[in-house]
């Protein structure tokens, strides 16, 4: 599904990303990341959570990313139209705890706000 087919909604201090625009969190896990652009982090987390749970019938990822001081609070999971596997939260938590994933998400999103253009010297 293309990036434009996902709904990004502003929530207090951040963004919520879901397919429907009002995604339910039937299963979830949370983590805290260093400051980065919330929208980019949300898309990266969504992709990895989807990869981990794509075989769960009726699963649709939902990610909330909120700024908390110099950090980001990430709540990832999704809605399931069917039976929620007993290990679903643990699988999401493993995705969120993976050091490689975390480093990639923050690198992709860039730390903090977009950088200013470098000064030009004539």
Are 91 and 99 spatial neighbours (Cβ–Cβ below 8 Å)? no
Binned at pLDDT 50, 70 and 90, residue 77 comes out as: very high
Given a cut of 90, whether residue 49 has pLDDT beyond it is yes
Lowest mean pLDDT among 15-24, 69-78, 83-92, 97-106: 15-24
Given a cut of 60, whether residue 59 has pLDDT beyond it is yes
Sign of CA dihedral 10, 15, 19, 20: negative
DSSP SS3 for 16: strand
CB contact set of 88 (below 8 Å; sequence gap of 6+): 27, 53, 56, 77, 80
pTM for the complete prediction?
0.85
What is the per-residue pLDDT for 57? 93
Strand 59-68 versus strand 14-18 pairing type = antiparallel
Q: For the residues 67-89, what does the mean pLDDT come to? A: 95
Given a cut of 70, whether residue 91 has pLDDT beyond it is yes
Binned at pLDDT 50, 70 and 90, residue 116 comes out as: very low
């Amino acid at each position: 599904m293309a990036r434009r087919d996902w709904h990004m909604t502003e929530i207090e201090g951040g963004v919520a990303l879901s397919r429907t625009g009002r995604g339910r969190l039937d299963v979830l896990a949370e983590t805290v990341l260093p400051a980065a652009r919330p929208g980019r982090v949300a898309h990266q987390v969504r992709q990895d959570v989807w990869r981990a749970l794509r075989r769960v019938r009726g699963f649709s990822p939902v990610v909330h990313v909120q700024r908390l001081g110099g950090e980001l609070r990430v709540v990832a999971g999704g809605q399931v139209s069917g039976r929620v596997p007993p290990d679903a939260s643990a699988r999401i938590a493993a995705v969120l705890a993976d050091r490689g994933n975390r480093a990639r998400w923050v690198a992709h999103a860039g730390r903090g706000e977009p950088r200013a253009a470098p000064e030009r010297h004539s």
